[in-house]
Amino acid sequence: MTRPDELPEPPEPGTETVPEVPSAVSMDDLLSDCVHCGFCLPTCPTYVLWGEEMDSPRGRIHLMQQHREGAPLGDAMVRHFDACLGCMACVTACPSGVQYDKLIEVTRAEVEAEHPRTWTERAVRGAIFSLFPYPRRLRALRGPLRAYQRSGVPALVRRSGILERLSPTLAAMERLAPPSQKAPSLPERVAARGGRRATVGMLTGCVQREFFPGVNAATARVLAMEGCDVLIPKRQGCCGALSLHSGRAGEARAFARRTVETFEGVDVIVVNSAGCGSAMKEYETLLADDPAWAARARALAEKTRDLAEFLVELGPRAERHPLPVTVAYHDACHLAHAQGVRSQPRALLAGIPELTVKEIADPEVCCGSAGTYNLLQPVAAAELGDRKAANVAATRADLLVAANPGCSLQIAQALERQGAPLPVAHTAQVLDASLRGHPAATLLAR
Amino acid sequence: MADTLRDLAERCTRLLGPESVISDPVRLRTYECDGLTSHRASPGLVVLPETAEQIAAIVRACGEAGVPYVARGSGTGLSGGALPRTDGVLIVTARMRRILDIDIPNQRATVEPGVINLDVTRAARPHGYYFAPDPSSQQICSVGGNVAENSGGAHCLKYGFTAHHILACEIVTPDGEIAELSRDDPGFDLLGVFVGSEGTLGITTKITVRLTRLPETVRTLLAAFDTIGKGGDAVSAIIAAGVVPAAIEMMDALSIEAAEAAVACGYPEGAGAVLVVELDGPDATVEHQFAQVERLCREAGAFEIRVAADDTERALIWKGRKSAFAAMGRISPAYIVQDGVIPRTSLGEVLGRIDALSRESGVRVANVFHAGDGNLHPLVLFDDSVPGAQERAETVSGAILDLCVEHGGSITGEHGVGADKARYMPRMFSDDDLDTMQMVRCGFDPAGLCNPGKVFPTPRLCGEVPGVRKGPHPLVAEGKADLF
Ligand SMILES: Cc1cc2nc3c(=O)[nH]c(=O)nc-3n(C[C@H](O)[C@H](O)[C@H](O)COP(=O)(O)OP(=O)(O)OC[C@H]3O[C@@H](n4cnc5c(N)ncnc54)[C@H](O)[C@@H]3O)c2cc1C
Ligand code: SF4
Ligand code: SF4
């Protein structure tokens, strides 16, 4: 195995040219799978918001077809592709097997290549993509953010609405910045407790690592307590999820190669962030046209597991202590729709004595976080956040459990806006508390 | 014409605001068809109103400009009923989706037309009630669309079609007036005329539906047969025994294959036909009849019977059936969903003839049907990239309708006539019959602007139709009807 700390930082992306449609998929075949039945409409968040055909999966597929037939990627068309959250609820809903995930990925790449963006759009996108995938840069941002949050200015700024007027995107970034925590650094190896049952690699993720360090620590502990040796390569970079889901395929590939290399020596890679896990499972398609990497990418995709998926496959061994708390479980789109992981987290939570799991109404509709969506489409994202928050509040749970950092930020913030703040935890943190016999209050105090 | 539409667009923008009027060609084209993709026409203008008053104002504006208009709900219709007019306005109700009232003591709910069918049931279920019409598209089709098409579903064998569950409709008449049609109105049953009129008599803007009490018990079984014929025998035996199941649905091997590919419903392997039978009602009755149905299926030759143990298993049995149409995309690039009715007793005979048609023409036909009431849904499969394939499929599809009519059935059971089947109407009705229907239509829409070109084979202006006739109406002459 390559020693992880010998690896260089991920390359500065943007050098690679945006690719053609991956040869493995024919856009025409993919498009022809759609029979125009409309079954995907009710779970599409933008259709739920606006009730317009062009902002539904069926309508977007129709627009893609128009583009294939020669209609240019004009402003009108691009607006509707940009408004798509990439939540993949339509993939789950479609009885005809339409692979919308592939369709939108190709389309986004075409948009980035063919459609000129305005100056502000370019600036905002540039800022996001030069920040989020780089933990070190995010870390650098944390100091100023912490100072800013302590200063009492945030409430003032929020009230004044000045950011909203300047740029809704900047305002969204400000709102979403979580209270920064001190990030403890994890060791490179955490040894299994009791007899060893497995050796796993662990992805720490960019946003997860910098904004929710407690989740990574909890993940490592839970894995160790369940009998896993956990390897945490120090210099792992971004998995490329944000880039991949935003049409920046070249950039995504660079990150993917790096990640493949980093984890080549382990049998299983456990991922606790839904967006990262779904991207890594897509590496096979992403690198299909690169002969040097295709097989290695496939191998990595095959050994990638979401934390909940892995723990259920492994089976419980450590003792669960009671946690008398009522939780609402939120299905992250990149977990439920993209990876089909729905029952596992619920099963893990239900396995904790005295814990009650509540279902959130309309579980299949996205919370509006969707990677960079809440930064690029702040108005729609806020509306979706409000809907989700209202459904969460209606469960009257004490704690919201979600397995994706973006969702946690988004929903927590919407709940706060509605004056019904609720603590948020990752499935790993709830399990961690139960395995360690900590009282429920430790989760609720967040 | 372009000028007229431009003026109309401006007027609508003043009425509704710019966010609710669509006029650029790329966006307009996404509305070019409903669930029937073989008929396409890009609308001249799309509007997304939110109130009855707005719809009335739009209809008046269209009337003044002499521009035709078409209503659209969720666009899942399978007969091209919501096919737009290139020279007209498409009025989409997708933003009118508020459930206005759930009135449990009176067992009714009042909803806006764009409310999704299943959402009515979702809202009523916590109170122990549901909205009985359950088309397979219930997760997305609108109540307004259900009213227009008089949609049915798997359970209409026992509970009836949409018409049996509509208590009142507020409508915008083609004059642009808002009127209320109610089941309680004395005199002519205008509500009965309106339900099922496929958007040709006006646009409904508010609907009061009947809510049905959730049954005490529901039991579902899946029976597998090696041939369709044996499945048909089982259906006849069940009905003959006096059992009225909530639903009896049949699927043939090809449709099972598609559903399996789509939703992995796990139907018994090697089945030439499966029957889904559901009984509901009071515990004791259901238990007794369920045993009877199981026995009758076995006697008819079922080689495997699965009884759903819980709601999850029931949902899985239904999932295969409910996704069957859309699942055809898995086994064929394109297909035509046919909808015809035959007397239940002719089931075996007609299916045999369909099979023969399929063999002769080399066009594959999958069969899904509401077997209890003889409503067939043959799915005619073709590859739209092969020249001539669509025409061949359409010929087979048309021949199937001829079979239905020949056996004393109908050219549509629940999907409506729309744009697609207008040309088949003369196979069932004489010119005089059609003229009589036109008279009714003209009573509502003298200018012929409300969803023109649908239902009737030859769009005629109202003035031309009955007025030119000399002498008494033929029905009157034959003594079959009276004028009064
Ligand atoms: C996969 C699939 C399965 C289906 N299964 C069934 C089934 O089991 N049973 C069944 O009966 N149908 C079925 N259908 C057909 C279709 O779903 C129904 O006809 C449904 O009622 C149409 O509703 P909609 O909202 O989509 O209407 P649309 O397709 O938008 O419109 C249908 C017609 O209604 C008119 N209309 C719409 N709204 C109004 C209004 N407010 N006032 C007046 N007229 C209006 C339109 O002008 C048009 O003529 C199925 C369709 C699909 C795609
Ligand atoms: S990915 Fe989500 S937002 Fe995009 S079309 Fe599908 S359901 Fe709608
Ligand atoms: S559900 Fe699938 S086939 Fe139906 S309209 Fe949506 S994408 Fe097309």
**In chain B, whose CA is at the least distance from the CA of A53?**
B30
Instruction: Give chain B's count of helices (H) and strands (E).
Output: 17, 19
> Ligand 3 within 6 A of A155 CB?
no
Residues B150 and B60 in one domain: no
- The residue of A32, A41, A50, A53 whose CB has the most chain B CBs within 10 angstroms, and thus the best one to mutate to test that interface, is A53
Looking at residue B415, which CATH number applies to its domain?
A: 3.30.70.2740
> Ligand 2 within 6 A of A89 CB?
yes
> In whole angstroms, what is the distance from residue A15 CA to residue A230 CA?
34
pLDDT (average), residues B192-197: 96
How far does Cα B366 stand from its chain's mean position? 19
> In whole angstroms, what is the distance from residue A199 CA to residue A185 CA?
20
Is B329 within 8 Å of A96 when comparing Cβ atoms? yes
Looking at residue B169, which CATH number applies to its domain?
A: 3.30.465.10
Q: Which of B92, B121, B142 is the last residue of a domain?
A: B92
Beta carbons within 8 Å of B291's beta carbon, 6+ residues apart: none
pTM (predicted TM-score): 0.86
Spell out the domains of chain A, with CATH numbers in brackets: 27-114 (1.10.1060.10), 132-176 (no CATH), 189-312 (3.40.50), 320-444 (3.40.50.10700)
Q: What is the pLDDT of residue A241?
A: 84
Q: What is the pLDDT of residue B251?
A: 94
Residue pair B214/B128 in contact by the 8 Å Cβ criterion:
yes
Residues B229 and B314 in one domain: yes
Q: What is the pLDDT of residue A185?
A: 75
Q: What is the pLDDT of residue B380?
A: 94
- The residue of B21, B22, B28, B29 whose CB has the most chain A CBs within 10 angstroms, and thus the best one to mutate to test that interface, is B29
Is A54 within 8 Å of B75 when comparing Cβ atoms? no
Instruction: Please name the residues between 342 and 381 in chain B that touch chain A, using a CB distance below 8 Å.
Output: none
Nearest beta carbon to residue A62 from set B30, B48, B335: B30
Which residue segment(s) compose the domain that B151 sits in?
A: 99-213
pLDDT (average), residues B258-280: 91
Higher pLDDT, A376 or B120: B120
**In chain B, whose CA is at the least distance from the CA of A75?**
B26
Q: Which of B92, B119, B148 is the last residue of a domain?
A: B92
Query: Does the CB of B114 have a partner CB in chain A at under 8 Å?
Result: yes
Residues B260 and B234 in one domain: yes
> Ligand 3 within 6 A of A39 CB?
yes
Backbone angles phi, psi at A303, to 5 degrees: -100, 10
Residue B354 lies in a domain: yes
Residue B375 lies in a domain: yes
What is the nearest CA distance from B311 to chain A, expressed in angstroms? 17
Is A39 within 8 Å of B140 when comparing Cβ atoms? yes
Identify the residues whose C-beta falls under 6 Å from ligand 1. A 37; B 34-35, 70-78, 81-82, 93, 113, 135-137, 141-142, 144-146, 148-149, 151-153, 198-199, 203-204, 325-326, 414-415, 451
Looking at residue B60, which CATH number applies to its domain?
A: 3.30.43.10
Residue pair B212/B131 in contact by the 8 Å Cβ criterion:
yes
Residues B272 and B319 in one domain: yes
pLDDT digits (tens, 9 = 90+) for A350-373: 999 999 999 999 999 999 987 667
Residue B484 lies in a domain: no
Residues B321 and B243 in one domain: yes
Domain count for chain B, please give it.
Answer: 5
Residue B19 lies in a domain: yes
- The residue of A44, A52, A362 whose CB has the most chain B CBs within 10 angstroms, and thus the best one to mutate to test that interface, is A52
Is B26 within 8 Å of A66 when comparing Cβ atoms? yes
> In whole angstroms, what is the distance from residue B351 CA to residue B400 CA?
10
What is the nearest CA distance from A32 to chain B, expressed in angstroms? 7
Dihedral angle sign, alpha carbons of residues A293, A298, A299, A304: positive
Q: What is the pLDDT of residue A41?
A: 97
**In chain B, whose CA is at the least distance from the CA of A37?**
B35
Residue B256 lies in a domain: yes
Q: How far is the CA of A28 from the centre of ligand 3 (A)?
A: 15
* Cβ contacts of A59 on chain B, cutoff 8 Å: 30
pLDDT digits (tens, 9 = 90+) for B200-228: 999 999 999 999 999 999 999 999 999 88
pLDDT (average), residues B400-409: 94
Crossing angle of helices A274-281 and A294-302, rounded to 10°: 140
**In chain B, whose CA is at the least distance from the CA of A80?**
B27
Residue pair B338/B400 in contact by the 8 Å Cβ criterion:
yes
Residue pair B250/B231 in contact by the 8 Å Cβ criterion:
yes
Residue pair B450/B177 in contact by the 8 Å Cβ criterion:
no
Residues B224 and B251 in one domain: yes
Residue pair B200/B236 in contact by the 8 Å Cβ criterion:
no
pLDDT (average), residues B63-90: 96
Q: Sheet containing A325-329: which strands, arranged edge to edge?
A: A355-359, A325-329, A399-401, A424-425
Residues B341 and B310 in one domain: no
How much of chain B, in percent, has pLDDT values that exceed 70?
94
> Ligand nearest A94 Cα, by number?
3
Q: Which of B154, B183, B213 is the last residue of a domain?
A: B213
Q: How does DSSP classify residue B450? A: B
Q: What is the CA radius of gyration of chain B?
A: 23
Of A102-111, A318-327, B39-48, B88-97, least confident by mean pLDDT is A102-111
Closest CA to ligand 3's atom 8:
A34
Residue B140 lies in a domain: yes
* Cβ contacts of B33 on chain A, cutoff 8 Å: 36
The residues pairing with A230 across neighbouring beta strands, listed in sequence order, are: A190, A200
CA atoms within 13 A on the CB side of B123: 22
Residues B157 and B252 in one domain: no
Q: What is the mean pLDDT of each run of 10 residues along chain A (446 residues)?
A: 36 43 69 92 94 97 95 91 91 91 89 77 63 55 47 46 45 51 75 92 79 86 95 86 80 90 91 91 89 91 95 95 96 93 95 96 90 77 93 95 87 90 93 94 82
Residues B237 and B265 in one domain: yes
> In whole angstroms, what is the distance from residue A425 CA to residue A442 CA?
11
Is B35 within 8 Å of A37 when comparing Cβ atoms? yes
Instruction: Give chain A's count of helices (H) and strands (E).
Output: 26, 9
pLDDT (average), residues B1-28: 93
Which of ligand 1's atoms lies nearest the C-alpha of B454? 49
Of A313-317, B174-178, B460-464, least confident by mean pLDDT is B460-464
Q: How far is the CA of A45 from the centre of ligand 2 (A)?
A: 7
The residues pairing with A201 across neighbouring beta strands, listed in sequence order, are: A231, A269
Residue B482 lies in a domain: no
Q: What is the pLDDT of residue A153?
A: 45
Residues B248 and B273 in one domain: yes
Burial letters for B24-33: b for 16+ Cβ neighbours within 10 Å, e otherwise? eebbbbbbbb
Residue B483 lies in a domain: no
Q: What is the pLDDT of residue A124?
A: 63
Q: What is the pLDDT of residue B262?
A: 86
Q: How far is the CA of A298 from the centre of ligand 3 (A)?
A: 28
Q: What is the pLDDT of residue A145?
A: 46
Q: What is the pLDDT of residue A4?
A: 35
> In whole angstroms, what is the distance from residue B134 CA to residue B279 CA?
15
> Ligand nearest A101 Cα, by number?
2
Residues B227 and B326 in one domain: yes
Of A167-176, A413-422, B20-29, B289-298, least confident by mean pLDDT is A167-176
Nearest beta carbon to residue A36 from set B37, B114, B333: B37
What is the nearest CA distance from A66 to chain B, expressed in angstroms? 8
Query: Does the CB of B262 have a partner CB in chain A at under 8 Å?
Result: yes
> In whole angstroms, what is the distance from residue A369 CA to residue A354 CA?
31
Query: Does the CB of B332 have a partner CB in chain A at under 8 Å?
Result: no
pLDDT digits (tens, 9 = 90+) for A60-96: 999 999 999 999 999 889 999 989 988 899 999 998 8
Residues B126 and B191 in one domain: yes
Amino acid at A238: C
Residue pair B161/B151 in contact by the 8 Å Cβ criterion:
yes
Residue pair A280/A300 in contact by the 8 Å Cβ criterion:
yes
